Amino acid sequence: MTRPMPAGSVTARPGRLFLRARVSRRDEAVFVLKLLLAVVLVAGGALLALRSNLLVAATGVVLLGATYTHLLELQHQCLHHSAFRRPGVHRAVGVPLGLALLVSYSHYRVRHLQHHRYLGTPRDSEFFGFDTRRPITVGGLCRGLFDLGRMAAVLHSIIRCVRGNWTYDMGQISHRLSRDIRNEYRFMGLLVLAAGGGFALGLGGLVLRLWLLPLLIGLPLHFLVELPEHLLCDSDSTDVLRNTRSIRGTWFSTWYTNGNNLHVEHHAAMTVPINRLPERHEDVRRFAVHVERGYPTFYRRVFREARRNSRIRRAPDAGRG
């Protein structure tokens, strides 16, 4: 739902939406429970994926792919150091959370924090490459679903890191951060080589069921999770109440996206632990421009917009024909 700002909104601002909060012992415990549940889901998905019954195996593959996407949303919380009370723990936990979908924790972190800093300006560039400021088309959505460009970029980064000539191209970063990024890509390179070795040793079925096929599930699911954040919002505004969307959703969507549906709340105070964001949603409903009741409503709107833009783009070609 997109609506005009309420009367007096130029001066009236939400009271607690922008307040910062430190990670408490309870917040840390909530995140650890989420991690444990994710581990159980990965183990259960792997057991099902390796069964001989194809229907059961397919169920396991889908469960693994869906869980890999969920792990990336847990990694997102680690990026903001809002999961643990000790900052140093975040990278140790965050790095393995992104391996299944080949996401470097340190590279994602530096790019994502820049996204928060420059949102609404020409310098904004999110780590995942779908440009929400361009007109939506059916073809663009289909290309974004599998994000093959990012996969190619990952392989290129791995090769450059192995060679030792990788550099960060979005600004200045510290030598230590650059080293962390290179080491993470090198480790991913070892995983890719191990997967290739598995095929060479006759273990291709394991690699296929436990990683490659779930990867094909996880990539489009992650795209669908990320898509609502800023799409069809006021991309030229630096006001988080205008350039970002929140979706109330259900308890399941809030858990599965790890609070990514409450995105206005997150951008307003990005270090607030995710489990505390629902407390701030009432302020968002009152003051934010882009608020949806659920994901189906948003996706229907996007599909209508994509079809309309695709027809507009085809019209001149049809006229020339």
Alpha-carbon distance of 151 to 174, in angstroms, equals: 25
In degrees and rounded to multiples of 5, residue 246 shows phi and psi of -115, 145
Percent of the chain, pLDDT > 90?
79
Lowest mean pLDDT among 1-5, 86-90, 128-132, 286-290: 1-5
Over residues 269-287, the pLDDT tens digits come to 999 999 999 999 999 999 9
Q: Is residue 162 part of a domain?
A: yes
Over residues 165-191, the pLDDT tens digits come to 999 988 899 999 999 999 999 999 999
Domain span at 89: 25-227
Over residues 36-69, the pLDDT tens digits come to 999 999 999 999 999 999 999 999 999 999 999 9
Give the model's pLDDT for residue 13. 65
b/e per residue 266-283 (b: at least 16 CB within 10 A): bbbbbebbbbbbeebbeb
Q: Is residue 16 part of a domain?
A: no
Q: Is residue 182 part of a domain?
A: yes
229, 233, 235, 244: which is closest to 122 by C-alpha? 235
Higher pLDDT, 47 or 1: 47
b/e per residue 29-67 (b: at least 16 CB within 10 A): ebbeebeeebeebbeebbebbeeeeeeebebbbbbbbbb
Alpha-carbon distance of 287 to 127, in angstroms, equals: 28
Q: Is residue 109 part of a domain?
A: yes
Over residues 206-232, the pLDDT tens digits come to 999 999 999 999 999 999 999 999 999
Q: Is residue 17 part of a domain?
A: no
Where residue 135 falls among pLDDT bands split at 50, 70, 90? confident
Q: Is residue 300 part of a domain?
A: no
Where residue 71 falls among pLDDT bands split at 50, 70, 90? very high
Where residue 317 falls among pLDDT bands split at 50, 70, 90? low
Give the model's pLDDT for residue 310. 78
Average pLDDT over residues 12-24: 86
Domain count, the chain: 1
State the average pLDDT for the chain: 91
Q: Is residue 305 part of a domain?
A: no
Q: Is residue 1 part of a domain?
A: no
